[in-house]
Structure 1
Amino acid sequence: MLFFAWFLLFAGSVLAGGGGSRSRGGGGGNALRAYTNLHRSLLEPIGLYNPRPQIVAPISPPFQSRNRVADMQNYLRNLYNHEAYIDPESGSVLDRLRGNMNWILNHPNDPRIRDYQRGLISVMEEASGHARFEMQNALHPVNVRAQHAVPIRALGTKVGSVTSVIQAGSNSNQLTSHLEQADQDRFANAFEVLFSEKQLLNAAERHATSIPRL
């Protein structure tokens, strides 16, 4: 847990310094190269980096065909249904995770607290599994310009609401106080993935489209 405590301090300093500009329109070659470098620097240390995504987005703005309405309709269908995009409805597991964390923090003396903490690890790993897939595919530099800014922003808010709870005060210790070291390590690894995704979402928004409006 000493490494995890250090990582929390590092994470706090990164977020306090701002995760990059949120303004779109800076999607030129230099900006995309910077994003590509960030993507690699975040994923390599946690063993998730791949130079190519597993899935490539089939349609990406700008829409330049004669039938732009049909292109936009096709884009929206893919946005909600294709795994290469951040779904506007994604992140339900993060809502559940935050609820579980808040319950544990509000009931530290419950006789079943250890069982609840073990259950929390399972939900943490489920959330980090989604984050891994999203970072390797939808948020990959190959696909990032195909994303829509609204779901990127919404997912970033949800991920941030989870990581901020873990970073606050002694919450990380309270959430894992009755767990063995192996389970504490699982918690720390899942947090590292979620924190990496939060940084990547912050940077990805500037490359995403705002058309069509959602």
Structure 2
Amino acid sequence: MFKKVIIAEDLDAMNLGIQQVLKDLNIVNFQHSKFCDEAFLKIRAAINQNEPFDLLISDLSFKTDHRKATIANGDELVQKVRELQPDIKIIAYSVEDKNYRIKSLFDNAEVDAFVLKGLNSIEELKKAIHIISTSDQKFISPEVSSALKEKNNYEIDDIDILILKHLSLGTPQDDIIQILKDSGIKPKSKSAMEKRLSKLKDFFKANNTVHLVSITKDMGII
């Protein structure tokens, strides 16, 4: 079982719930941070003191205040922590239920578990902690398990990323098509461009092009 845990959660009620779970599992050495930057600094300090944390439990969404945040959300925190301390176990604990975002956490940040906040979250959090502390198995709440099982026959390629980058810079679609034409890259027509964007919107479940750009920025794709 884990010996030293850090919780990154900005809501007091949720934090108290997580602490009670740890106490129920006889884990008494834990710390708490309401801000991602603070949590990251504590993790780095623990490593420098040769007393590293062996588990991070982090929310994904954090409310902003007057402080200037270097790490804006839990997605960024878990990725930075994974780079800093590759062997730490990480549980994402969130109300997030979008498949693409959950899958990104497992694929890019290599989280060990995802627990969906809800009616069964306390018991699921206990189960997740037990599973990842005793094995290399992953845990994901049943309600969102389709995020890892779902397969999509559309794969993002370098051209998609190039188009998304231009869109994020405000480049008009007609200008993007001309840039691609000049480089000898398809799509070379407006209809082909719209078809590709439509597939991307479906893939990321985006409501429109602006939403698509926002999603891919959040995921670190562009």
- The alignment's TM-score, normalised by the length of structure 2, stands at 0.26
Task: Between the two structures, name the one with larger relative contact order (CA 8 Å, sep ≥ 6).
Answer: 1
Higher strand share: 2
